[in-house]
Chain A
Amino acid sequence: MRWPGQLFSRRRIYGDLTEEIRLHLEEKVEALIADGMSREDAEHAARREFGNAAVIEERGREAWQWPLLESLWADTKFALRQLAKAPGFSVTVIVTIALGVGANAAIFNLMRAVVFPSLPVPQSGQLFLLRSISTPNDAAWLYSGPAFDRLRAAAPDIAQVAAHTSIAQCHLTERNGENPERARMQLVSENFFSTLRLTPMSGRFLLDGDALPVGGAWAAVLRYGYWRQHFAADPSVIGRTVAINGTPVTIVGITPERFLGVMPGEVPDFWLPIEAQKSVRYAVPFDSLGYGSGGDLNAPYRHQEPLFWLSLIARVAPRKEAVAPSALTHAFQPDLALYARFTSEDRRSAVLASTFTLHPLASSEGTMFGQYARPLIVLMAMVAAVLLIACVNLANLQSTRLLSRQREFVMRSSLGASRARILQQILVESSILTVIGGVLALLLAVVSGPILLRWASQGPEVIPLDLHFGAEVYTFVFALLMLAIFAFAFLPAGRIVRMDLVVALRGHASQSIAQSTRRTLSDILLSLQVALSLLLLVLASMFMRTLVNLNHVDTGFDRQHILVARFAFRSAGYKAEKVQALAPQMLERLQTLPGVRSAALDMCALPGCLWNSVIHVAGHPELSEGVMQAHQDNVGSGYFHTLGISVLQGREFDDGDRRKTQQVAVVNRALAAKLFGSSDPIGQKVGFGPPPADAQFVIVGVVGDVRVDDLRSPAPPVFYRPFAQDSIFVGGIEMRTEGDPLLIANEVHRALLALDPRMPVTEINSITADYDRTLTTEYLLVRLTSIFGGLALALAAIGLYGVLSFRVARSTSELGVRVALGATRTNILQLVMGQAAVVFVLGAIPGALFAAIIGRAIHGLLFGVSGMDWLSIFLSTGVLGMTGAVAAFLPARRAASIDPMRALRTE
């Protein structure tokens, strides 16, 4: 390799060459003089025959250079100097790219994390979710312990099957019961981690031996993030024993940092063996074959056939995906037979024919998917529109800058630069800006990721999604930057290439402000910006109206005055009798508080935690499954009165309903209509099972409908039972208050703790706050669409301002002529504003149409707002119009105050 040496001696080499050529010419001249020419003629002849010495010398030098690199380096230095001289332009471009590309990258990453959540385990493509028949009541894909054992043994060399439950809240304390804290646990089979092929960051994972407790303590695996958060990353935590729901548990290992469980969006803190289910009081959710199938909720679930509580995953050997399902289905036959026994005749054959299907675990829909997929698509589209608007601005900005540098290009061209060389320089300049903007965009995306998650999270905990930047995000950003460069450099530069050098050199070729061929394209682009901005503003407005509507919806009870206290008696280890004794004391104490009008018990406080039950009507065995499905709530006496739910017929529960008296029930209007049509429900007998179990309860009242699940869904049919007759652990106490419920929250807490200092109160909050949590998607949409709408508005206004300013500046002389010929200030104003008005109207009409179309398409995300929301369209057009008017007025005013003498003199 000789070039390193050559690099350093370049100057000497160039010097030698120059000298050489000079001497050659000298020699030549002397030879010609010797032939008889005069000195002058000899010199001319010598130069003629030699050729263009300067060019030849340059060509000679090129032999020693890498021309492309050298020219790029020169371009870069030149570009940096030029950009430093025009800071306004540079900063505007960089900020525009950073915002546009960064917002897109952030939403894209969020979407990727939700729709294609990462599963950071080896060969994640081999992992599948197993689904066969779904459970009878909840339609979930849950299976029993014995079923899992059969499937696990079915074909171990084809499919490694493991099981896990869903995640449950638990009570974490030290071994001696101190320092209680809430945590989340998930029960898994012993082969769960080995099926995933994870290696522990520290300690070990569960093994076969962990099916039994060791020294009274069950083995548990800790999540990395929780280890850092709760145990302060203490390395001695391995082998330590703590208590979960009162049961001793020994920590045996810690998962790798990025592993967040197998259910996207739901992250446990502890993994325990499924055999520990009863000890750690894991209770929900589960489903069963119903009444009479032999399930016992008080016995451990592990070996009970009719209780379904396990989700199944499997690692399938490569290329065996086709044969795995049949092997599994074959092993599952005894369970299908059991299902069939408890299914109605007509569906029996369908049940027996069910097969297993494999669903890739790495891209499985978590609970997040259904909720967030569509809003995220809307957001992606909006943020792409913002980027489009930004790119148009970039193109316009660059265009104007290049036009003002025309003289420079013409000069370079005449000095010998090819058009390609000039284009190269423009490209280098654009690339520098784009790269800086791109780096800032990535930073913006990284920073805004956690903020977005915070906004999208219900309740105080942030949704734990892995927002780690993978190859896809970088590729996406790169693609967007290419798009930006395209808009930014190629389009305007293409114009440069076609420019007429001679005309340009003659001076500022002044343009007429009223007509120009180049105007049409930028007008179209401006109208496009207006259309997109209008679209985004209308969408933002529609989402805002949706949120307002949802907040004002009639829930069927006195939403503004209910304070809810929630408890976790079961997981804190309280015995049922103790809670039953405590309950009336709690009610009495709370009702004496000033500010509390009345209080009532509830098995679980609204919204959204009710069971699904099937209600059979005595004497009507023909009713179909669909009609008999209802939510169930067990409530204390005086519940309906406390909540402000109207009693439409009969009575509500009172203290007369006790364990030994007649078993009663109350239905809501929706259930009454479904079960009884127009006949009177009072006095009818119902039950939870087919005859003879269908006459257990007498209906004594009909109450109004309540939106028990969330604000959007219409009120479902609900079946109520009194606490006194069907005792369950008290999940909550609802209190009707005089004023704002939050004002007495502290007092309520104190009163409860005074009764029992260790009472496991998990939360005291107004019920409106709890309902608000069901609105996270809506809040997220409103926040983000407002931001994007505002951004779009600002960008469009800047674009309009920029283009009009430039046009006014370029047409100074023409405007001067007009004024000199008698045009008034108003005339000029009208001229410029008129142009802006045309652009606006040409953009607003398609924008409004497009908004109406899109509105129809996202109908499902709206509430109380039709797809053709005239109010939103009207308001948004108004806002956009005013902003545009201001943006146009500034250059118009400048145009109108042109002094004709000065204007003409600049020519």
Chain B
Amino acid sequence: MMVLQSVRRQPMHGYALVQHIKQRSNELLQVEEGSLYPALQRMLKDGLLKAEWQLSSTNRRVRTYKITPAGIKHLEREVSRFERMLEGINLVLTPAES
């Protein structure tokens, strides 16, 4: 979900994605870098992303991922599900109105 959202905002390659997530979460989410790649492959297979070899701003050869329309739809569905779940948990956890 986070990968899709990040890529939606701006297409990027694997290394940049890892940095992006680390920064945005204020270092709260430490993810093993390598585990990103199997996830990216799965999303590629399912057609949520597409990949292209490009030249980055620093002149390196990188494989950039872009989100697809199907990916956008999937992301929105997942986000709304997540928000509903969060709301539900919140309701349970907040003390009852007196």
Nearest A residue (CB) for B33 = A50
B38 and A63 contacting across the interface, CB-CB below 8 Å: yes
Docked CA distance A28–B14 (Å): 11
Nearest A residue (CB) for B62 = A23
A20 and B37 contacting across the interface, CB-CB below 8 Å: yes
B37 and A27 contacting across the interface, CB-CB below 8 Å: no
B44 partner residues in chain A, CB cutoff 8 A: 63
Q: Which of A339-368 contact B (CB under 8 A)?
A: none
> Closest Cβ of chain A: how far from B13's Cβ, in Å?
8
Docked CA distance A50–B44 (Å): 21
> Closest Cβ of chain A: how far from B57's Cβ, in Å?
12
A51 partner residues in chain B, CB cutoff 8 A: 32-35
A63 and B42 contacting across the interface, CB-CB below 8 Å: yes
The answer to whether the Cβ of A330 comes within 8 Å of any Cβ in the partner chain is no
Docked CA distance A63–B48 (Å): 14
The answer to whether the Cβ of A52 comes within 8 Å of any Cβ in the partner chain is yes
A6 partner residues in chain B, CB cutoff 8 A: 45
Nearest B residue (CB) for A53 = B34
* Among A17, A27, A62, A63, contact of B15 (Cβ-Cβ < 8 Å): A27
> Closest Cβ of chain B: how far from A628's Cβ, in Å?
92
The answer to whether the Cβ of B61 comes within 8 Å of any Cβ in the partner chain is yes
B interface residues, how many (CB within 8 angstroms)? 21
Nearest A residue (CB) for B61 = A23
* Among B14, B42, B45, contact of A24 (Cβ-Cβ < 8 Å): B14
A62 partner residues in chain B, CB cutoff 8 A: 38
Interface residues as binary, B43-63 with A (CB distance below 8 Å gives 1, 0 otherwise)? 011010001010000001111
B45 and A60 contacting across the interface, CB-CB below 8 Å: no
B63 partner residues in chain A, CB cutoff 8 A: 16, 19-20, 23
Q: Which of A50-64 contact B (CB under 8 A)?
A: 50-53, 56-57, 59-64
Nearest A residue (CB) for B45 = A63
> Closest Cβ of chain A: how far from B2's Cβ, in Å?
18
Interface residues as binary, A12-36 with B (CB distance below 8 Å gives 1, 0 otherwise)? 0000110111011011100000000
Nearest A residue (CB) for B43 = A63
Given known A20-B63, A23-B62, A27-B15, contact A2–B47 (CB-CB < 8 A): yes
Interface residues as binary, A245-282 with B (CB distance below 8 Å gives 1, 0 otherwise)? 00000000000000000000000000000000000000
The answer to whether the Cβ of B10 comes within 8 Å of any Cβ in the partner chain is no
B34 and A56 contacting across the interface, CB-CB below 8 Å: yes
A63 and B41 contacting across the interface, CB-CB below 8 Å: yes
A interface residues, how many (CB within 8 angstroms)? 25
Docked CA distance A62–B37 (Å): 11
Docked CA distance A94–B83 (Å): 61
Interface residues as binary, A634-653 with B (CB distance below 8 Å gives 1, 0 otherwise)? 00000000000000000000
B45 partner residues in chain A, CB cutoff 8 A: 6, 63-64
A20 and B35 contacting across the interface, CB-CB below 8 Å: no
Docked CA distance A783–B58 (Å): 90
Docked CA distance A21–B14 (Å): 9
The answer to whether the Cβ of A49 comes within 8 Å of any Cβ in the partner chain is yes
B51 and A16 contacting across the interface, CB-CB below 8 Å: yes
> Closest Cβ of chain B: how far from A18's Cβ, in Å?
10
> Closest Cβ of chain B: how far from A5's Cβ, in Å?
11
A50 and B34 contacting across the interface, CB-CB below 8 Å: yes
B51 partner residues in chain A, CB cutoff 8 A: 16
> Closest Cβ of chain A: how far from B35's Cβ, in Å?
6
> Closest Cβ of chain A: how far from B74's Cβ, in Å?
15
B34 partner residues in chain A, CB cutoff 8 A: 21, 50-53, 56
Given known A6-B45, A51-B32, A63-B45, contact A28–B37 (CB-CB < 8 A): no
B41 and A60 contacting across the interface, CB-CB below 8 Å: yes
> Closest Cβ of chain A: how far from B5's Cβ, in Å?
20
Docked CA distance A17–B40 (Å): 10
> Closest Cβ of chain A: how far from B90's Cβ, in Å?
34
B15 and A64 contacting across the interface, CB-CB below 8 Å: no
B47 partner residues in chain A, CB cutoff 8 A: 2
Docked CA distance A670–B1 (Å): 101
B-contacting residues of A (Cβ < 8 Å)? 2, 6, 16-17, 19-21, 23-24, 26-28, 49-53, 56-57, 59-64
A-B contacts, 28 listed (Cβ < 8 Å): A6-B45, A17-B37, A20-B63, A21-B34, A21-B37, A23-B60, A23-B61, A23-B62, A23-B63, A24-B14, A26-B60, A27-B15, A27-B60, A28-B15, A50-B32, A50-B34, A51-B32, A51-B34, A52-B34, A56-B35, A56-B37, A57-B37, A59-B38, A60-B37, A60-B38, A60-B41, A63-B38, A63-B41
